[in-house]
Structure 1
Amino acid sequence: MYFLNQRLAADVFDGEYIIANLDTGLYYSVQGAAVSLLHSLPFSSENQVITVVSQAFPEQTEVIKEELTSIFKELVSQDIIRRDENILLESGPECIAPNAYIPGRFNRYADMQDLLMLDPIHDVDENGWTVQSNNS
């Protein structure tokens, strides 16, 4: 199964996933049908999700398959989602297609990278305590 990378901060606002990578300062936006993909991945395979969403909109089947497959590959390559076969969930929500088809979008932004990297949360140890710089 695939899960959201635990090193990321993510939330859904107005039907759009906003994901911040606090290690790199990059942030991402996932919109449309791709939100269903992210919601369902911990409980279904990517192929199951793509099939459910594409079958819900038969007139858009090929477009949906192509865009969700592409977005899935981007989510993996950007380390937003990770595969973990050691975590098994007993049950989860069934994959549900959105009520209306909105094209899936995946956007990557670096415009706030410098600002996000200034955040002192980056200078903490594994227990969350501030690490003192040796440059003092």
Structure 2
Amino acid sequence: MKTFLFRSMTGIFFGAFLAVVFTNLYVLSNDSIMLNGTLFLKNSLGSIFCGWFFTVSSLYFENPNLRLSQQTALHFATVIILYFVLAFGIGWVPFNLTSFFIAIASFLGFYVIFWTSFYLYFKRQMKKLNEELELL
């Protein structure tokens, strides 16, 4: 439960941070001095929720009762469903077939890149730890 709460707070704060950064970049790039409050609130809450479920869903990978393929499938299903419900609901992805396929392809591409990066990183860490254990 402690890990869940820590990850929840981390995700919420990271999502809020990204919302502020993107809002500031928007204001600076458009010389806009007036923001739509409702739109800002909707996008900020979406960013916070997105940060939360991406950080909390990684807890699947800490369950020793699941194989890596099961952990990956559960994580992928969780984040893709929640992300696209959020993205279509808020309007981050327009509700049409072309946008849907572009968004799915982008999501899959980023997911594969991040998953592979984390896999290779932890595999390398495991190798280094095993080498250090052999030296003891």
* Larger helix fraction of residues: 2
Could you tell me the TM-score, scaled by structure 1's length? 0.30
Structure 2 length normalisation: TM-score? 0.30
Indicate the structure whose relative CO is greater, using CA pairs within 8 Å and at least 6 residues apart. 1
